[in-house]
């Protein structure tokens, strides 16, 4: 069971806490606001009211015992920065911190954040990519080069097998799975694609754009 310390349970932090609770994680929530702690209590294993910039308060939490510490503090960036720094100094195994711009991302990494979440930018990129083409249904960016796309199967692929289309050889793209109606299935080389099929593909962005004419 994964254990997580979530510092800051405003809108962003509370969504994380609730989802981790659904996934049967052990979650401790920390916030300076008693009201927010009261709101999140039904969804977490334990909760504490306190100032995350106070090193002695954080020390009492045993931050080194958690698999992950998530800094989801809103408001003043200074609080997020100090909290991230304190967690690393106290022996946190992995710290993920939230940034709202590129400068914040840079400084959070400088003070030791193992991972920086940039939800506004990530959501903006996802929405822009999704609506850039009628072919794209959804999109997950894995890094600066590789992405997973959920795409409508092109008309020219209908009634053809994967061997006939052979996009792996032509475009260096792998098809992960197909969705046909409500059914999701793993394809084989002889799978015949039909009108309305949805493909989940992975590859370099430029190859996917070329293959699907995005």
Q: Which of 117, 138, 172 is the last residue of a domain?
A: 117
Q: What is the CATH number of the domain that holds 61?
A: 3.40.50.720
Give the model confidence (pLDDT) of 90-124 as tens digits: 999 999 999 988 899 899 999 999 999 887 777 77
Q: What is the model's pLDDT at position 133?
A: 67
**Closest by alpha carbon to 6, among 31, 29, 34?**
29
Is beta strand 183-185 parallel, antiparallel or unpaired with respect to 46-49? unpaired
- Domain region containing 154: 122-211
Percent of the chain with pLDDT over 70: 98
> DSSP characters for 143-175?
SSSEEEEEEEPPGGGTT-BHHHH-HHHHH--EE
The mean pLDDT value for 200-211 works out to 84
Give the model confidence (pLDDT) of 32-78 as tens digits: 999 999 999 999 999 999 999 999 999 999 999 999 999 999 778 99
Q: Which of 84, 117, 150 is the last residue of a domain?
A: 117
Give the model confidence (pLDDT) of 8-24 as tens digits: 999 899 999 999 999 89
Number of domains in the chain: 2
HEC profile of 76-134: CHHHHHHHHHHHHHCCCCCEEEECCCHHHHHHHHHCCCCEEECHHHHHHHHHHHHCCCC
Q: What is the model's pLDDT at position 132?
A: 67
Q: 88 and 11, same structural domain?
A: yes
């Amino acid at each position: 069971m994964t254990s997580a310390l979530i510092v800051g349970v405003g809108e962003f932090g509370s969504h994380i806490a609730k989802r981790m609770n659904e996934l049967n994680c052990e979650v401790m929530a920390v916030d300076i606001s008693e009201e927010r702690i009261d709101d999140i209590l039904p969804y977490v294993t334990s909760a504490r009211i306190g100032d995350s910039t106070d090193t002695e308060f954080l020390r009492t939490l045993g931050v080194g015992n958690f698999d992950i510490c998530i800094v989801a503090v809103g408001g003043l960036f200074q609080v997020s920065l100090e909290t991230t720094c304190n967690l690393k100094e106290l022996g946190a195994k992995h710290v993920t911190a939230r940034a709202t711009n590129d400068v914040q991302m840079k400084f959070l990494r400088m003070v030791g954040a193992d991972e920086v979440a940039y939800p506004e930018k990530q959501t903006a990129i996802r929405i822009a990519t999704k609506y850039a083409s009628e072919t794209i249904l959804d999109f997950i960016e894995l890094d600066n080069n590789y992405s997973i796309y959920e795409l409508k199967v092109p008309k020219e692929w209908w009634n053809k097998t994967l061997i006939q289309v052979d996009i792996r050889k032509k475009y260096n793209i792998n098809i992960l799975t197909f969705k046909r109606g409500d059914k999701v299935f793993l394809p084989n080389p002889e799978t015949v694609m039909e009108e309305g099929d949805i493909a989940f593909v992975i590859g370099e962005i430029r190859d996917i754009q070329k293959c699907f004419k995005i």
